[in-house]
Chain A
Amino acid sequence: MTLSIDISHRLGDFAIEANFESAGRLTALFGPSGSGKSTLINLIAGLIRPQKGRIVVDGRVLVDTAAGIFVPMHKRRIGMVFQDARLFPHMSVAGNLRYGRWFTPPSERYANIDAVVDLLGIGHLLDRRPAKLSGGEKQRVAIGRALLASPKLLLMDEPLASLDEARKAEILPYIERLRDKTKIPIAYVSHSVAEVARLASDVVVLSQGKVAAFGSTEAIMQRLDLLPAEERGEGGAVLNARVLRHDEAFGMTVLGSPAGEIRVPRLPRPAGALVRLRIRARDVMIATEQPAGLSALNILVGTIAAVRPGIGPTVEIAIDCNGAIVLARITEQSKHSLRLALGRKVFAVIKTVSFDDTTTGLGLPVEADG
C-alpha cells in the first residue's frame, strides 16, 4: 500500500504544500500545532477539497484537480478516528460499531465484528450508550467503528490528545496491536514524540504547512532539530530491541539491542518479544574512560559519529555503537573539557530508571522495519 500526496491548498494566510509518498505500516504526520497536519488528514479523508493537487491511495486516484477528479468522502473507504471520538449519541456502542457496515459492499467487508471487539477489548461495552463511556473507552469504540467499515486506509487524528496520561497508556497497546495484527495501513497525526517513536514506522515531519523531512522513525527521531521546541527533550535514538531475560530479583528486564545489552525496569513481555526503545538524548551521559563506581547500569561502547550544535549551550553527539546510533545531548562545556571529537571512542551511560512506559513500546514486526 502506498499513500501518495502532492497537494497545495490555501486557507486564509495559511498555505499547505505537501508532497510525499509513504508505504509504511503506520505513517506519522508529525509536527507542532498549526503545522497543517490535521488539514492534511482532512484532505485525505475528503472533508476538505484541495485547491490543487493529487491524492492517490494504493493506486486509486482520490483527488486529481488537473483531471477534475474528486471522490466524495463517503466513497473513499478511508476510516477516520477523530480526536473527539464523535460517537453517535443516539445509538448504542453496538449500533455505532455496526454503522459503517451498512455502507460497505458485502464483497469488500473484511472486518469481523467479533475480532475487532476482541482486539479492542470492548465486548463489555456493547449495550452501553456513548455518554456512559470513559474517554479511553470512547476512543477504543471509535477505532472499532472505523475499522468495521473495512477501510483501505485508517486515519487517526490525534486520537490520544484529549486524554490524560493514564488513558493514553491504556490505549497505546491497542493501537500497537492494530498496527501489528491487521493489514490496514494507518496514517497517524500527532505532536507527541513519545507516541510517534512508539507507534510509527515512518514519519512525515510537517512545519508551517510544508514537509520538513520524511523518513523512517529511527532516522527522524535523531534529528532533534526537527522536533517541536516543547518536545525536544523527548527526542533521542529509537532502537529495536528484544527481551533477552528478566532479572526478577531486581525487577528488571534485560534487552538485547544492536548497541548492546540494556537494562530497563521490568517489562510485562515474554522473552523474545520485540521492544521498541527510545533513549532520550538528555538521559545519556558520555564518559571517555570505562566508568567505575557508578550507579548507572547501562554502559554502551561506541565511537563519536557526529557532533551537531544543539539548542542553547548544548551539543548533540551521535555515538555509533556497533552500527546503532545513540544520541547524547550534553553541554558545550563538557564537550570542550572532554575534548570530544569525531571518531573518538566513548562510553554512553544511561540510567535504568530513565526508561519508563512512554519510552518502551511494543516493537514493530521485523518485516515492517525494512
Chain B
Amino acid sequence: MNWLLDLNPDEWNAVRLSIKVATVAMIASLPPGILIALLLARGRFWGKTLLNGLVHLPLILPPVVTGYLLLLTFGRRGPAGAFLAEHLGIVFSFRWTGAALACGVMGFPLMVRAIRLSIEAVDRKMEAAAGTLGAHPLWVFATITLPLILPGLIAGAILSFAKAMGEFGATITFVSNIPNETQTLPSAIYTFTQVPGGDAGAIRLTLISIVISMVALVASEVLARRVGRRMDIE
C-alpha cells in the first residue's frame, strides 16, 4: 500500500489537478447544461435539430479535432480567447482553466442527455398544479421541476466528472501537457509510458485513477438512491 501512496510531488500535483479540473468542468457545465437540456426537451424553435447536433458533436468528433477547434477559438489569438483575455482576464491557453474547458466540452453531451431525459420524464401536470397554487413559472421551476429532475442532474454531473477525469485527446491538443499546470492524470500516465522505467509510476497513477472513478461512481449511486427514496415517486 505504501508504495502506492509514495508519489513524488509532480505525481501528486497531477492527481490534485485532475480532481480540480474535473470538479470545475462539472460545476461550470451544470447551468448551461440545464438550460440547453430544457431548450431541447421543451423548446419549440427553428434550429433545434442544429442545436442538438452541435451539443452532440464532441461525442462523435475525434477528441483531437475538438481540442484543435478549441485551440482555434479559445487560444490566445482565437476570437473568443482574445476577447475573454482582454475584457475578463480569463485565459485558457496552456492553463488548467483550458483543461477544464476542454473536459467540460467533452462531457457536455453526456450531461445534457441525462438531464434532458429526466426533464422529459417530469409530469407537466405537476407544474400546472403548482401554477394554480400561485407559483410564478420561475418558482415552479425551482420548487417542482428542479427537485423532480434531481436524479437526472446527479447522473449528468457524475457522467461529466467521470468523462473529465479520463479526458486526454482534447486536453493535450488544446493546452498541451505541462506539469503542474495542464498535466492531468491521463497526461501524466501517458508521459510515464513514454520514458524508460516509467512503468511503476504509470501503474501507481492508473490505480489511483481507478480508485477515484470507483469512489465517484459509488457516491453517485448512494446519492441517487437517497434522492429516489426521498422522492418515492409512484
Contacts and interface: CB of A to CB of B under 8 A. Distances in A.
Interface of A: 45-47, 72-80, 82, 84, 86, 88-90, 99-100, 102-104, 129-132, 145-146, 149
Nearest to B136: A74
A202 B234 CA distance: 37
Given A88-B144, A90-B147, A79 B230 contact: no
B137 A74 contact: yes
A179 B136 CA distance: 29
A75 B135 CA distance: 8
Contacts of A86: 123, 125-126, 128-129
Given A99-B133, A103-B135, 9 more contacts: A72-B131, A74-B131, A74-B136, A86-B125, A88-B129, A89-B231, A102-B134, A131-B233, A132-B232
Contact of B134 (A82, A84, A103, A131): A103
A131 B135 contact: no
Contacts of A74: 131-137, 140
Nearest to B143: A99
A86 B128 CA distance: 9
Interface string B117-149: 000000101101111111111011001100110
B129 A73 contact: no
Nearest to A47: B128
Contact of A82 (B125, B136, B234): B125
A149 B134 contact: yes
B133 A145 contact: yes
A145 B128 CA distance: 14
Given A74-B137, A89-B148, A103-B139, A80 B132 contact: yes
A73 B131 contact: yes
Given A74-B136, A103-B139, A131-B232, A88 B130 contact: yes
Contacts of B143: 99
Interface string B60-99: 0000000000000000000000000000000000000000
B129 A80 contact: yes
B142 to A, nearest CB: 11
Nearest to A73: B131
A174 to B, nearest CB: 19
B233 A78 contact: no
B35 to A, nearest CB: 22
A129 B232 contact: yes
Interface in B179-234: 230-234
Chain B interface size, as a band, is 20 to 34
A84 B148 CA distance: 18
Contacts of B130: 88, 99
A77 B130 CA distance: 12
Given A89-B148, A90-B148, A79 B231 contact: no
A240 to B, nearest CB: 33
Contacts of B140: 74
Name the residue in B131, B144, B148, B232 with the highest tally of chain A Cβ atoms < 10 Å from its Cβ: B131
Given A74-B134, A74-B136, A89 B129 contact: no
B66 to A, nearest CB: 37
Contacts of B125: 82, 84, 86
29 contacts: A46-B131, A46-B132, A47-B128, A72-B131, A73-B128, A73-B131, A74-B136, A74-B137, A74-B140, A75-B134, A76-B132, A78-B132, A79-B133, A82-B125, A84-B125, A86-B123, A86-B126, A88-B144, A89-B231, A90-B148, A99-B133, A99-B135, A103-B133, A103-B134, A130-B232, A130-B234, A132-B232, A146-B133, A149-B134
Contact of B234 (A46, A72, A89, A146): A89
A59 B125 CA distance: 29
In order of increasing CB-CB distance, the 8 nearest A-B pairs are: A103-B134, A100-B133, A80-B132, A86-B129, A131-B232, A90-B147, A73-B131, A89-B233
Given A89-B148, A131-B233, A132-B232, A79 B139 contact: no
A45 B232 contact: no
Nearest to B139: A103
A132 B233 CA distance: 10
B128 A149 contact: no
A24 B152 CA distance: 47
A89 B232 contact: yes
B128 to A, nearest CB: 6
B152 to A, nearest CB: 13
A276 to B, nearest CB: 29
A291 to B, nearest CB: 54
Nearest to B133: A100
A107 to B, nearest CB: 14
Given A47-B128, A90-B148, A104 B134 contact: yes
Nearest to A80: B132
Given A88-B144, A90-B148, A45 B132 contact: yes
A45 B125 CA distance: 13
A82 B232 CA distance: 21
A145 B230 CA distance: 20
Contact of B126 (A47, A75, A88, A145): A88
Contacts of B132: 45-47, 73-74, 76, 78-80, 146, 149
Nearest to B125: A86
Name the residue in A72, A89, A131, A145 with the highest tally of chain B Cβ atoms < 10 Å from its Cβ: A89
A238 B232 CA distance: 45
A130 B125 CA distance: 16
Name the residue in A46, A90, A100 with the highest tally of chain B Cβ atoms < 10 Å from its Cβ: A90
